[in-house]
Amino acid sequence: MAKAASVQARPEPAAPPPAAAPEVPAQLAENMERIEALTQRLAAALSRRPMHDPGVEAPGADLVVNAGLAWAKLWSEQPARIVEQQVKYWGETLAHYAGMQQQLTRGKLTAPEDAEAETDKRFRNPLWQSHPYFNLVKTQYQINARAMREAAQNLDMLDPVDQHRLNWLTNQIIDMFAPTNFLATNPDAIERALETEGESLVKGLANLVRDVETHGGEMIVSLADRNAFAVGENIGTAPGRVVRQERLYELIQYSPSTEQVHAVPIVLFPPWINKFYILDLKPENSLIRWIVDQGYTLFVVSWKNPDASFAETGLADYVSAYLSVMDAVEEITSEPKLNAVGYCIGGTTLSLTLALMAQRGDDRVNSATFFTTLTDFDEQGEFTPFLQDDFVEGIAAEVARTGIFAAHLMTRTMSFLRANDLVWGPAIRSYLMGEAPPAFDLLYWNGDATNLPGKMTTDYLRGLCQQNLLVGEGYPMLGHQLKLSDIQLPLCAIGCETDHIAPWKHSWRGVAQMGSKDKRFILSESGHIAGIVNPPSKKKYGHYTNDGDFLGGPEAWLDSARFAAGSWWPVWEEWLREKSGEMVAARSPEAGFSAAPGEYVHETP
């Protein structure tokens, strides 16, 4: 009994202490807190996104209905064709999966050769070819993309414009769903996340939040570091002064760099869709500085960045501003003649101005130069999806409500003309890789967008782009019907070979219809910007010239053209020199207003 009592009195062994919770690495804990805070900021920023008219967000229902009708017609008339498409798609898909499974059972992937991957920079990572998972994803994406394109192209829609738009939208969807756009199917992003212990994803989320906050709730990716440049400090620094300031524009006269200048001054009208300093980014590629260095008195217009108070400002107001600028140049220089230059829509409006002046008997313009300018809109090219009634009516409703076509809407439209380069590629680098935007002056300028006045926007879209009145019955303005054939003065036009905004063949056709007997066309290599901002010192892009007439069409013109290496600037200046008069003492800008680049260039939407 005593022994039993002794046993019973033995104390219970102490319970082991509770296992300690695994310690969360300090970096991970910090990242989780940052992600939570950033997510809250993102939700708040997205909630501020303004509401737009549905017509500017997507094509109208008519396109969907017409596509459905075309499919129903194809199904009723050629069912075997649709079945063939489906069998082909599923056959490729099943063969792909079966081939991949067979490879994996052997323990080694021998991926098929992929010519597409060699040319598609999205799939440069070797893992797209060597890793079973990524190769499976990439190949299936390519099969899906081909099937979607073929399905859209084979609908045989009655309206070729609808077919063009359907093909374009199909390609947009294909690009949007590329596996590179998603973290789980992007080997570069996964590798970067592992290397940085998730820091790249936190930085990517921070970049996304920054962009949404910067653009008022819109998801527009920043293409350049906005803190790397300051206009007037390290870009747009050519010396000069604002010599006139009006409600719609500032007129800048640049300081001479030579003791003598040509008597006839130059006035340059840039587009107001972006800002003029694209022509003065850096001293070494500044067309503005180069013109001044050749011995010319140069005036450049800096347009106002409009707000809702400019809602009723139309194309006629811009033409009136051109005439006002010419009055100011004549007053400042005491010269009865000037040479005018127009860039992009600045050139389109210059053509309207010149036609008006011709009908009024105003011969102040000695010669005109057009940089990448469209005046004949019979062919709408890559803008076809945006220039149909549903989008134009949507834009008209939007500007009627807000007074302006907002800068971010224009930026979005232009970006999706080159979606992989201007939307998805930058988004991958910024949001998935966590990279900071590059310090690139051209991309900085591209993001420095402007609003457009409401009435001007609809004037341009309806009267010029859709109705093509400048070529047809005449554009009605200030009591006149303006036509390209009215333009009789000497002119020179520069197109750019790979320009997707103002395709050179379309530009050439507009020049061909102008009434001048003294006209020439120069074709620069490269695109809308790089083809124009092409200084002789770089020796980067060449150009084509042709002394022949404009009777055979743009293809015939190019076939008989001469190619020369280097910039077109000296060729143009040689042509311009003959129309610029004798040499006189250099003119310095008058005092009274701010120094170049002025005040309007700093205004933001």
As annotated, the active-site residues are 344
Pure H helices in 115-176: 115-119, 127-130, 132-153, 160-176
Tokens of 37: 């805070």
Selection from 215, 217, 214, 220 nearest residue 51 by Cα? 217
Q: Which helix (H) or strand (E) is 405 found in, with range?
A: strand 404-405
Query: Exposure of 244 by Cβ count < 10 A (0-12 exposed, 13-18 middle, 19+ buried)?
Result: buried
Matching residue, tokens 């962009």? 211
* 63 vs 69: CA distance, rounded Å: 10
Q: From the CB of residue 122, how many other CB atoms can be counted at a distance below 10 Å?
A: 21
CA distance 508 to 321: 26
Sheet with 240-245: list strands edge to edge: 240-245, 249-254, 298-303, 266-269, 338-343, 365-371, 491-496, 519-524, 543-545, 562-564
Residue whose C-alpha is closest to residue 290's, from 595, 578, 519, 568: 568
Q: Is 448 exposed, middle or buried (0-12, 13-18, 19+ CB in 10 A)?
A: buried
What's phi and psi for 102, nearest 5 deg?
-65, -40
Backbone φ and ψ for 366, nearest 5 degrees, come out as -80, -35
| Cα–Cα distance for residue pair 135/157, rounded to 1 Å | 35
Question: What is the length of the chain?
Answer: 605
Question: Which letter, b or e, does each residue of 519-538 get, where b requires 16 or more Cβ atoms within 10 Å of its Cβ?
Answer: bbbbbbbbbbbbbbbbbeee
Q: To which residue do tokens 């074709």 refer?
A: 523
d(CA 603, CA 605): 7
Element (H, E) at 100: helix 79-105
Which phi and psi (to 5°) does residue 249 adopt?
A: -155, 160
Residue appearing with tokens 């021998």? 110
